[in-house]
Amino acid sequence: MTDTPDASKAVDQPPATVDLAVEFAASGVGEILDELDRELVGLKPVKQRIREIAALLLVERARQKLGLSTETPTLHMSFTGNPGTGKTTVALRMANLLHRLGYVRKGHLVSVTRDDLVGQYIGHTAPKTKEILKKAMGGVLFIDEAYYLYRPDNERDYGQEAIEILLQVMENQRDDLVVILAGYGDRMDKFFASNPGFRSRIAHHIDFPDYSDDELLHIAETMLEGQNYHLNAEARALMAHYIELRRAQPLFANARSIRNALDRARLRQANRLFETASGPVGAEELSTIKAEDIAMSRVFQIAEAMSDKAAS
């Protein structure tokens, strides 16, 4: 009696090749990258880096299918840049991307700051930090302004306890949690210099550049379009001037500042309509932001005062 081949062994044999284009299409990663392009203006170096990370993970997954020895790549990240440059949006998309590729179980994002992790008295920090980590497991933990965790000038600060717990989890449970640290670039550099354990665990450092004036104007128009509003020609020209002036003033936060400015412009538009409308108004009037709705901004008053002061 002759032996017959074991069918299960044949099934277990890895394939000889993998079509990366097919893998890319099946993963849904292209949809996420397209969403980033639609949602975020500019940021070409950021988008390119995200594409590179996606390519790396797709190749790693292909290697696994071919039976090549592999280990889970380190995916902890650092996002540096000024406020309003899209860091949180990219973190959300990254969580989704990692989930699609099977590198995290759930694909959710837990966004926290120092106050969510560090307690105010002895014995309070560890439970807070562990509770946040428990919520984030299977997804991405986004720590904004991460440098506030470390306060070397305060001997009684409990941030170091939170850091030690985070470092341990980032190393031992990196198969089930990705941590993204975010904040201003110069402060993050000092933070990493003071905490080398973090730097050694961060594989991807991504810098988010400020938006240009043209990009901010495009962002403004896109935000309004999403709410069924638009700028008329005069308002568009004045908005471009507003952006130029606002950038030179304190506490400028890129797209966040633009969103706030548009919210105030809509308030002024609504007030103008109630004060001036003598009869029924149509969709066009209700949807148009005019120059006068922007011209009332304090940004112009501050710029004029600064100009008068410089002239004197």
- The CA distance from 292 to 19, in Å, is 57
Residue 289 CB coordination number (10 Å): 23
Over residues 268-272, mean pLDDT: 96
- Name the strand (E) or helix (H) holding 87: helix 87-100
Residue 218's pLDDT band, with cuts at 50, 70 and 90, is very high
Domain stop point among 157, 192, 208: 208
Residues 302 and 233 in one domain: yes
Choose among 210, 303, 223: nearest CA to 258. 223
Residues 139 and 257 in one domain: no
How many angstroms separate the Cα of 51 from the Cα of each of 57, 182, 215, 271?
Answer: 10, 20, 21, 45
- The CA distance from 203 to 75, in Å, is 6
Residue 145 inside a domain? The answer is yes
Please, are residues 120 and 134 in contact by the beta-carbon 8 Å criterion?
no
CATH number for the domain harbouring residue 292:
1.10.8.60
Residue 251 carries which side chain, given as an amino acid letter?
L
- The CA distance from 289 to 213, in Å, is 19
Residues 250 and 168 in one domain: no
Residue 63 inside a domain? The answer is no
- The CA distance from 238 to 31, in Å, is 36
Residue 20 inside a domain? The answer is no
Residue 16 inside a domain? The answer is no
CATH number for the domain harbouring residue 104:
3.40.50.300
CA 276 to centroid of chain Cα atoms = 41
Residue 43 inside a domain? The answer is no
pLDDT more than 70, % of the chain: 95
Residues 94 and 202 in one domain: yes
| Predicted pLDDT at 3 | 55
| Predicted pLDDT at 38 | 87
pLDDT in tens, 188-211: 999 999 888 888 899 999 999 999
Over residues 218-229, mean pLDDT: 96
Decide if pLDDT at 80 tops 60. Answer: yes
> What's this model's pTM, rounded to 2 decimal places?
0.86
Whole-number mean pLDDT of the chain? 90
Residue 287's pLDDT band, with cuts at 50, 70 and 90, is very high
Residues 178 and 237 in one domain: no
Decide if pLDDT at 6 tops 60. Answer: no
Please, are residues 191 and 150 in contact by the beta-carbon 8 Å criterion?
yes
Domain stop point among 183, 208, 233: 208
Task: Domain count for the chain, please give it.
Answer: 2
Decide if pLDDT at 114 tops 70. Answer: yes
Give me the torsion for CA of 127, 181, 222, 250, rounded to 10°: 100
Residues 153 and 222 in one domain: no
Residue 123's pLDDT band, with cuts at 50, 70 and 90, is confident
Domain stop point among 151, 186, 208: 208
Residues 112 and 238 in one domain: no
| Predicted pLDDT at 93 | 93
Residues 244 and 276 in one domain: yes
Residue 51 inside a domain? The answer is no
Residue 23 inside a domain? The answer is no
Over residues 106-130, mean pLDDT: 93
Which residues constitute the domain of residue 247?
213-311
Residue 61 inside a domain? The answer is no
Please, are residues 110 and 281 in contact by the beta-carbon 8 Å criterion?
no
